[in-house]
């Protein structure tokens, strides 16, 4: 069985979305190439011509354009304002990052994700309208700690800083038991949203369904309670 093809959260994504990534540093390039590999239309841009050419030769984006994102006219001409989602991947240039985020939000882009390199940078990005602010270095550090301590968590979707939806591998301790027997709610304070039967997910699973070690289940709960699961 291919676990990746069974990923529940991946399957929830909306198709035909168009993305633009502004800033092709390490972070921006990683976002670009991942989206491109997943089959999405993605436009990469940078002020540095060399990075734009590199993005095209390495085929990490569907299109790549050299522009200065602090200039609204250039963004407009490149079609950035028509994108569903724009990722502002400029971490080290505070002024450029803030102006760019302001430009795309003022032009009406629906969803803008911006990379922050410090807490104050994050606050400023929120003030100018960023819909989602990411702190990649901080988040990667936290995720690494989680993975090291809980390797059975395959995927995590953070609802807020305290609560998540996670995909976990069903542990040995749950094997052959029903959800009713396990009393996940009472014992761990988490709720099972879906259980895979090997081919697809059964949403809102029957309490009498027996679990099989190694298959996937989707759980919602506080990070503290998820941490208590025997996985
Ligand atoms: P990394 O991801 O490499 O760790 P980073 O995301 O912090 O670093 P930065 O050095 O902040 O990357 O810059 C990302 C990219 O943003 C750089 O390639 C830079 O050329 C580009 N950039 C900076 N200013 C502008 C601008 N005004 N318009 C477009 N691109 C810009």
In this predicted model, what pLDDT tens digit does every residue of 70-108 receive, in sequence order? 999 999 999 999 999 999 999 999 999 999 999 999 999
Which one of 20, 25, 80 would you pick to mutate in the ligand 1 pocket, going by the greatest count of ligand atoms within 8 A of its CB? 25
Q: Any idea where the domains of the chain sit in the sequence?
A: 3-139, 150-226
Per the CB < 8 A criterion, the answer to whether 122 and 135 are in contact is: yes
Given the structure tokens 């979707």, which residue do they identify? 157
pTM score, two decimals? 0.74
| Closest ligand 1 atom to 27 CA | 2
Predicted pLDDT of residue 116: 97
Average pLDDT over residues 13-35: 89
Which one of 23, 55, 97 would you pick to mutate in the ligand 1 pocket, going by the greatest count of ligand atoms within 8 A of its CB? 23
Q: Residue 200: CB partners within 8 Å, gap ≥ 6? A: 6
Q: Residue 49: CB partners within 8 Å, gap ≥ 6? A: 66
Q: Could you tell me which CATH number the domain at 3-139 has?
A: 3.40.50.720
Predicted pLDDT of residue 174: 93
pLDDT tier for residue 142 given thresholds of 50, 70 and 90:
confident
Please name the residue whose Cα sits nearest to atom 19 of ligand 1: 23
Q: How far is the CA of 144 from the centre of ligand 1 (A)?
A: 25
Homologous superfamily (CATH) of 150-226 is Regulator of K+ conductance, C-terminal domain (3.30.70.1450)
In this predicted model, what pLDDT tens digit does every residue of 151-183 receive, in sequence order? 788 888 888 878 999 999 998 999 999 999 999
């Amino acid at each position: 069985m291919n676990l990746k093809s069974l990923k529940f959260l991946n399957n929830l994504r909306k198709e035909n979305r168009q993305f633009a990534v502004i800033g092709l540093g390490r972070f921006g390039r990683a976002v670009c190439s991942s989206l491109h590999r997943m089959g999405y239309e993605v436009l990469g841009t940078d002020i540095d011509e060399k990075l734009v050419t590199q993005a095209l030769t390495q085929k990490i984006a569907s299109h790549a354009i050299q522009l200065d994102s602090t200039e609204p006219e250039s963004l407009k001409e490149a079609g950035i304002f028509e994108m569903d989602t724009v990722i502002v991947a400029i971490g080290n240039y505070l002024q450029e990052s803030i102006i760019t985020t302001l430009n795309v939000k003022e032009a009406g882009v629906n969803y803008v994700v911006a990379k922050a390199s410090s807490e104050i940078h994050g606050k400023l990005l929120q003030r100018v309208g960023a819909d989602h602010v990411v702190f990649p270095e901080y988040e990667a550090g936290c995720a690494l700690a989680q993975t090291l301590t809980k390797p059975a968590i395959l995927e995590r979707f953070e609802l807020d800083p305290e609560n998540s939806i996670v995909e976990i591998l069903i542990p040995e301790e749950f094997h052959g038991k029903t959800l009713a027997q396990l009393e996940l709610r009472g014992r761990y304070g988490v709720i099972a949203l879906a259980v895979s039967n090997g081919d697809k997910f059964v949403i809102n699973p029957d309490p009498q369904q027996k679990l099989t070690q190694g298959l996937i289940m989707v759980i919602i709960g506080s990070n503290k309670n998820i941490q208590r699961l025997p996985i």
